Amino acid sequence: MDLSENSRQSLLPNFLYSSSATRNLALGRVLSRNPGPPAPPPSNGGASEGSFLIQAPSEPGKIALYSPAYYAACTAGGIASCGLTHTAVTPLDLVKCNMQIDPVKYKSITSGFGVLLREQGMRGLFRGWVPTLIGYSAQGACKFGFYEFFKKYYSDIAGPEYASKYKTLIYLAGSASAEVIADVALCPMEAVKVRVQTQPGFARGLSDGFPKFVKSEGYQGLYKGLVPLWGRQIPYTMMKFASFETIVELLYKYSIPTPKEECSKTLQLGVSFAGGYIAGVFCAVVSHPADNLVSFLNNAKGATVGDAVKKLGLWGLFTRGLPLRIVMIGTLTGAQWGIYDSFKVMVGLPTTGGVAPAAAPAPEHAQLKASA
Instruction: Tell me the per-residue pLDDT of 182-222, one tens digit each, with 9 for 90 and over.
Output: 999 999 999 999 899 888 789 989 999 999 999 999 999 99
Tell me how far apart the alpha carbons of residues 172 and 66 are, in angstroms, rounded to a whole number. 19
User: What pLDDT does 355 receive?
Assistant: 65
More confident residue, 289 or 301: 289
As a whole number, the mean pLDDT across the chain is 81
- The pTM score is 0.72
Please report which confidence band the pLDDT of residue 124 belongs to, taking 50, 70 and 90 as the band edges.
confident
Question: pLDDT digits over 66-120, tens only?
Answer: 999 999 999 999 999 999 999 998 998 888 888 878 888 888 888 889 998 998 8
Cβ atoms of residues 98 and 196 within 8 Å: no
Question: pLDDT digits over 71-81, tens only?
Answer: 999 999 999 99
Cβ atoms of residues 293 and 235 within 8 Å: no
- DSSP codes joined into one string, 55-70: PPP--TTPPPTTSHHH
Secondary structure (3-state) at 149: helix
Q: Give the H/E segment covering residue 190.
A: helix 167-198
pLDDT greater than 60 at residue 303: yes
Cβ atoms of residues 189 and 132 within 8 Å: yes
Average pLDDT over residues 23-43: 45
Average pLDDT over residues 28-45: 46
Question: pLDDT digits over 238-274, tens only?
Answer: 999 999 999 999 999 999 988 998 999 999 999 999 9
Question: pLDDT digits over 143-173, tens only?
Answer: 999 999 999 999 999 999 999 999 999 999 9
